[in-house]
Amino acid sequence: MITSIAHSTIYVLNQEEALDFYKNKLGFEVGDDMKVEGDFRWLTVHPKSNSQLQLVLAEPKEGPMFTKDSAEKIRSLISEGAFGAGVFETENCQKTYQELVAKGVEFMQPPTEQLYGVEAMGVDNSGNWFSLVQRK
């Protein structure tokens, strides 16, 4: 029986810039930041109050996973906003939204009543969309 999800990947255009966004704008904490053989940086972040799910901030680069062409296509799709980073939960959507806007985070949709709660939709500095949800 699978009991939880430990890691999930968010493809970003630049790890350092993504780290700045997730740490200094969203207020996440660094889980791992390790230099791994093969010139690979293993970088994970998580909300301070939940370290069980680590978000892996990875750059699509030419290598075993992607050809040069595929990596470029993925990077282009990220910039176009084709991918989502996921749903981030908050206790107060309106307040968190205001705090994030003040820090320069871009939102496509302000806090809006939905069937499941209050939700705002933002975008990270790579182009990945995310929902900010206050559950009912």
Partner 1 sequence: MAANNRLKRLNTGRDFIADNYQTPLSLSDIAKCSYMSPYHFLRVFKDTYGETPNEFLTRLRLQQAKKMLITENYSISEVCEKVGYSSLGSFSSLFLKRVGVAPTVYRRKLWALSSEAYCFPAQTIPACFAYKFLGKLAN
Per the CB < 8 A criterion, the answer to whether 13 and 79 are in contact is yes
Per the CB < 8 A criterion, the answer to whether 82 and 73 are in contact is no
Say whether residue 3 binds partner 1 (CB under 8 A). Answer: no
We find the least distance from the C-beta atom of residue 95 to partner 1, in angstroms, to be: 6
We find the least distance from the C-beta atom of residue 42 to partner 1, in angstroms, to be: 5
Q: Which helix (H) or strand (E) holds 100?
A: helix 93-102
- C-alpha closest to that of 84 among 123, 57, 52: 123
Q: Which of 40, 68, 109, 116 forms a contact with partner 1 (CB under 8 A)?
A: 40
Contact mark string toward partner 1, 97..136, x via CB under 8 A: ----------------------------------------
Say whether residue 70 binds partner 1 (CB under 8 A). Answer: no
Phi, psi of 130 (to 5 degrees): -145, 155
Say whether residue 4 binds partner 1 (CB under 8 A). Answer: no
Pull the structure tokens for residue 56.
């892996």
Which residues, in sequence order, are bridge partners of residue 130? Answer: 86, 122
Q: Which residues bind partner 1 (CB under 8 A)?
A: 6-7, 9, 27, 29, 32-38, 40, 42, 48-49, 51, 56, 58, 63-65, 91-92, 95-96
